[in-house]
Every structure is written in C-alpha cells, then in structure tokens.
Chain A
Amino acid sequence: MPISYFLVLSALLFSVGVYGVLARQNAVLVLLSIELMLNAVNINLVAFSAFFGSEGVGGQVFALFVIAVAAAEVGVGLAIVILLFRNRQTVDVDEMSYMKW
C-alpha cells in the first residue's frame, strides 16, 4: 500500500487537531485535540518505519516514546485542570482573565 495514503490521513488528522486547539475554549477539549495531533505524529512515524523496513525500527520506537510521554503529559495536565476547577469552578481558557495578555 502506498505510503502516501497514510501520510494524507496523518496530515488531515493533524489539521483537524490544530483547528480543534484554536477553536475550543474548554481546556480538556483543547487537550483532547492535542492528543489527536500526537496520534497524527504516530501515524507518520509508523508509516515511515514500515517504509524503511528492517532499517526502520527507530520510527516505531519513537512512537512508543511519544505514547509514554503523552501519558505523563495527560496526567499532569488533568491534575492542573482539577486544581484550577477547585479554585475557579471553570476550565474555560477564555475565562482566564486574572492576567492580561
């Protein structure tokens, strides 16, 4: 199967993720969109890895690292969200106005 199929899928998912990050206001939803972007990265890595054959095990290893780091990031991010929610009762990014931009 041509590698370009997978690259196109990855490109579309990444773009959808970028749109989600820019358009959403809820911090959890923004984080979900970023996860989608990370998934797009993994499609790329695995597709290239398969493409390069026996030389290309590095791509899959990289994908594993991306998943592990994503787990750490999500844990920390959700802890921050819980903390914020306790103090503010909202997780709207646009409602954060304590500090001006």
Chain B
Amino acid sequence: MMELAQQVGATAAAVDWHAIAPELVLAATACIVLVADLFLPDDAKWLAMPLSAAGIIGTLAAIVSLIGAGNRLTLAGAFEVDGFALLFKGVFCVLGLLILAISFHYFRVGRYYQGEYYFLMLCSLLGGVVMSSARDLVTIFIAIELISIPGFIMAGLRKGDAKSNEAALKFFLFGVLSSAVMLYGMSLAYGATGELLLEGIRAKLTAADEPLIVLSVFFIVVGFAFKISAVPFHFWAPDTYEGSPSPVAAFLSTISKIGGFVGLIVLMFRAFPDVADTWRPIFALLAILTMTVGNMIALRQTHIIRLLAYSGIAQSGYVLVALALIEPGATASNEQAFQSAVIYLAIYGIMDAGAFAAAVAFARRGGSYFIEDYSGLWQRSPVLATLLAGFLISLAGTPPMAGFWAKVFVFLAAIEAQSYLLAIVMGLNAVVAAWYYLAVVKKMFFEKAELAEPVEVPAVLRVAMGLAAAALVAVFVYPRLVTELAERSLF
C-alpha cells in the first residue's frame, strides 16, 4: 500500500483530525444507527432515537472541545473551524436534538421505518455541520447535497400517502433543478478565477462588472434561493411541508433552510464580498418579495403546518434583509448586518422548531392540524397552550421572547446602513405577521373549547419544548448571550 502510494507520488494528506472531530463523531453515529437497526427487534427499533441523541451530544462535546483553540484551517484551506463554523455547528446539533424529540413518538406510533429515518436525519445534519466549515466550492456543493438528498427521501416516508409522494417528488425536482442552476454559477465562478477555494476566488476577482462574474453570482443566488425558499422560488415549500411527515417538515424548515443560508452567507462573504454591488440589489428584491408575499399568503392559511411554512418563508425574508445591507468597504455597518443575520438564524431555528413541536404535540391522538381546532386549548392543556403561545409570540417578534431581539437587530442594521426602504417594508411586515400569529394565540386563550378532553403531551416533547422556550426567554432577558457569540463569529 505504502509502495503504491510512493509510486503515485502521493503524500499523506495533512488532516487536522481534531478539527474534523465533530463530523467524524456524527458520521460514526449515523453508521452505528444504521447497523444497529438491522439487529434490533421490531418493538425495540425506537432505541435508534436515544442512540442518535447520544451521538449528537457527543458531537456537541467535540464542538465544545474546539472552542478557544483558535482558527484551524485544514485540507489545504478547504475546511475551516472558526467562530462562525462552531456557532452554526452548535446550532445544528441543538436543532437536531429538538427534531429528535419531535420525531420520537410520531415515528414510533406511526410505525415507519424508524432506524432508516434517524440515519437519514443524522446524515442531513452532518451536511449542515460540514457546510458550516466548508470553504471551497466543491465542499459547499457536496454539503448542500448531503443536506438535501436525505430530505427528499424523508419527505416521502409516508409511502402509502399520495400527498407525501407528491411532496417528495416536488421537493426533489425543485431541489435538483436548483443544484443544477447553482452548479452552473459555480462553474462560471471557477472559470472567471481558476480557483475553487473561496479565498482564492476573492483574491482573483478583479473587475466586478465583468458579465461572467455577474451571471455567476446570479445563478448561485438563484440556486440558493430555491433552497431557502425565497419568493419567487418558494412554490415547493408549503406543499412539501404539508405532505411530508410533520417532524420532517420541522427539519426542512429549520436545519435544511439554515443550512442553505449558511452556504449562502459563506459564499457571499468569503468569495464575493468585494462585488457586493452586483448581488445587493438581488437580495433586496428577494427580501422584499419574500417578506411580503410570504406574510400575505400566511394570513389566509387555516392549516397550522401551512401557516408555519408561509410564515417561515417570510422569516427567510428578514434574514435576506440583513444580507441586502452589505456594501463593499463599509466595514462597521457590514459587521452589524452580518451579526444580525447570524443572530436571526440562530433564534429562528429554535423558535420555529418549537412551534412545530407544539403543532405535532397537538396533532397527536385525536387532535388536528387545523387552526380552528386550537380554540380553547388553554382549558384543555395549559402547558401546551402557553408553550405554543410563547413560540408564536417569539416568531411574531414581540417581547418577552428572543424573536423580539432578532427582528430589532436586523431593523437597526437596516437603519445603520441607511436602507430606509427595507426598514419600512420590514416594519410593516412585522405588523402583518404579528396579526396572524397572535390570532392563533387569541384563539387558544380567549375562545371556548369545543372539546373538553385534555391534550396529553409526551414527556420528551414537553421537556424539549420547555428547554427551547426557556432558552428564548433567557435570550430575551440577556441578549448578550447571542450578541457575544455573533461577535465571535465575524469573518
């Protein structure tokens, strides 16, 4: 073997094993889950979930061990562990634990292919973790595919249900199409610079107005716009969320979407920051459309998952606002915009997953996904009603939840960058959004219940939702918790 290696003239790749430890732990966990599932008897298949949870906690431990170790660059600069990467790896793992909690009873009672589901979920999570550190085009491409492809499969897990089949096919076709468009953009970026490393691309980009660069950035942004379901590339999202199993919808709307955003942010800030003039208008347009259209359609929804889907689209719009504020050179306001985007994504993930968890908890045993059935939930289950109200209030951006700061930071960044139009559109949208979120809250607390029987919430879900809500309140009280992290994540 060594001889062969010498013949080829290969040298052992210098890999910083500690830097990729989180990925290794997660990949190993995924394999263990897949193999263990083979040997578990049918009534013990649920053990895959605690096994996955242990693996994610192990990954978190590996991530924590990397804190304070400084920036690590390995694999010839294609893989970087810095504050930004660590923050998002942490966010992905925490969200992964939340999704596991949401999935547990759903997949156990529903008699799905449990082991395979957890394997696919861990692999998709691995894609997100790799994406946080990816610093060249190939790694970014592979990471986004590893996030998406298990998603296509998970969306179709309700095999007998035509809606689920349709959800999977729609998601698949849009996902593959967006990859092809994105790849075309990447190939042009490679052609314009001869580099696949983001740093190299940035160094070699000279003239911003070269059509090659403009088209390349345009294709890449359009490709990612599909992934983050920005209007007008959002068509797949509500149908896919509604058709797929609800925990998968929660997964797609948090981890998968944030993964897309992380890739977009890394590309735009590491490769194309000096040509921000070409992409800022695209982002501004996308942001305005995404916020407005998402909220307008969300107003009319009667199905909680579709409501969360459209409101999730609108939430992507707020992050796009932050990205639309970047100007080449203006460092202080750029930093503020960047931090607000990072904070928004982290808080959005937790509150959105929480809202999905509450919806899944309510839909168990005789509940439903229709908003009208939420009336009087306060009398039937005070705990669930309070938690869901907390998440919705946070999504609406009103105190006393962390969602308030998320919106305020983006808003302030827009003012700081003197993008008053974006700030105004955002403010108006926040009001519209508050309307439909609070309508649900009002229904739960001030309307009479049609059914009297209490809604029973499983302990796993209750603990997960409780921790998520506590985190949101804590961040509202001490916003330093997130601003500190965001400051460290600056590129």
Say if the beta carbon of B280 comes within 8 Å of chain A.
no
Take A83-B165, A84-B166, A99-B242 as given contacts and tell me if A48 and B190 are in contact as well, using a CB distance cutoff of 8 Å: yes
Bitwise interface map of B from 137 to 179 toward A, beta carbon under 8 Å scored 1, else 0: 1100110010001001100100110110111111011001101
B172 touches A80 (CB 8 A): yes
A59 touches B190 (CB 8 A): yes
A99 touches B163 (CB 8 A): yes
B156 touches A83 (CB 8 A): yes
Take A31-B176, A66-B183, A87-B162 as given contacts and tell me if A76 and B191 are in contact as well, using a CB distance cutoff of 8 Å: no
Within 8 A of B (CB), among A15-72: 17, 21, 27, 30-31, 34, 37-38, 40-41, 44-45, 47-48, 51-52, 55-56, 58-59, 61-62, 65-66, 69, 72
Say if the beta carbon of A101 comes within 8 Å of chain B.
yes
**What is the interface of chain B mostly: helix, strand, loop, or mixed?**
helix
Number of A-B contacts (CB under 8 A): 119
Say if the beta carbon of B180 comes within 8 Å of chain A.
yes
A98 touches B142 (CB 8 A): no
Give the nearest-CB partner of A14 in chain B: B184
Q: Which residue in B165, B180, B238 is a CB contact (below 8 Å) of A37?
A: B180
How many Å from the CB of B271 to the closest CB on chain A?
A: 14
A77 touches B176 (CB 8 A): yes
How many Å from the CB of A34 to the closest CB on chain B?
A: 5
Say if the beta carbon of B486 comes within 8 Å of chain A.
no
Please give, as numbers and ranges, the residues of chain A lying within 8 Å of B181 by CB-CB distance. Answer: 37
How many Å from the CB of B327 to the closest CB on chain A?
A: 30
B190 touches A76 (CB 8 A): no
Please give, as numbers and ranges, the residues of chain A lying within 8 Å of B166 by CB-CB distance. Answer: 84, 96, 98-99
Report, as a range, how many residues of chain A touch the other chain: 35 or more
A81, B239: Cα distance in complex, Å: 17
Give the nearest-CB partner of B160 in chain A: A87
Give the nearest-CB partner of A41 in chain B: B183
Take A65-B141, A69-B142 as given contacts and tell me if A44 and B188 are in contact as well, using a CB distance cutoff of 8 Å: yes
Take A48-B190, A56-B194, A73-B149 as given contacts and tell me if A34 and B169 are in contact as well, using a CB distance cutoff of 8 Å: no
Please give, as numbers and ranges, the residues of chain A lying within 8 Å of B145 by CB-CB distance. Answer: 69, 72-73
Take A76-B152, A98-B166 as given contacts and tell me if A65 and B138 are in contact as well, using a CB distance cutoff of 8 Å: yes
A56, B168: Cα distance in complex, Å: 37
Within 8 A of A (CB), among B206-225: none
A62 touches B162 (CB 8 A): no
Take A48-B194, A80-B168 as given contacts and tell me if A38 and B243 are in contact as well, using a CB distance cutoff of 8 Å: no
A81, B166: Cα distance in complex, Å: 9
A99, B166: Cα distance in complex, Å: 9
B194 touches A76 (CB 8 A): no
Say if the beta carbon of B385 comes within 8 Å of chain A.
no
A34 touches B176 (CB 8 A): yes
A27 touches B173 (CB 8 A): yes
B187 touches A45 (CB 8 A): yes
A26, B231: Cα distance in complex, Å: 25
Say if the beta carbon of B87 comes within 8 Å of chain A.
no
Q: Which residue in B153, B172, B190, B238 is a CB contact (below 8 Å) of A45?
A: B190
A80 touches B176 (CB 8 A): no
Please give, as numbers and ranges, the residues of chain A lying within 8 Å of B165 by CB-CB distance. Answer: 80, 83-84, 87-88
Give the nearest-CB partner of A47 in chain B: B191
Q: Which residue in B149, B159, B160, B180 is a CB contact (below 8 Å) of A72?
A: B149
Please give, as numbers and ranges, the residues of chain B lying within 8 Å of A30 by CB-CB distance. Answer: 173
A71, B187: Cα distance in complex, Å: 19
Q: Which of B159, B184, B186 has the most CB of A within 10 A?
A: B184
List the interface of chain B (C-beta within 8 A of A): 137-138, 141-142, 145, 149, 152-153, 156, 159-160, 162-163, 165-170, 172-173, 176-177, 179-181, 183-184, 186-188, 190-191, 194-196, 235, 238-239, 242-243
List the interface of chain A (C-beta within 8 A of B): 7, 14, 17, 21, 27, 30-31, 34, 37-38, 40-41, 44-45, 47-48, 51-52, 55-56, 58-59, 61-62, 65-66, 69, 72-73, 76-77, 79-81, 83-84, 87-88, 93, 96, 98-99, 101
Give me 20 other A-B pairs in contact (C-beta within 8 A), A59-B187, A69-B145, A87-B162 excluded.
Answer: A30-B173, A37-B177, A37-B184, A44-B187, A47-B191, A48-B190, A56-B194, A58-B196, A62-B138, A62-B190, A73-B179, A76-B152, A76-B172, A77-B173, A81-B169, A83-B156, A83-B165, A84-B168, A84-B169, A99-B243
Name 15 interchain pairs, CB-CB below 8 A, sorted by A.
A14-B184, A31-B176, A38-B183, A45-B187, A62-B141, A65-B138, A69-B141, A77-B176, A80-B165, A80-B168, A80-B172, A81-B169, A87-B165, A99-B166, A99-B243
Q: Which 7 A-B pairs have the closest CB atoms?
A: A44-B187, A48-B191, A37-B180, A84-B165, A99-B239, A52-B194, A41-B183
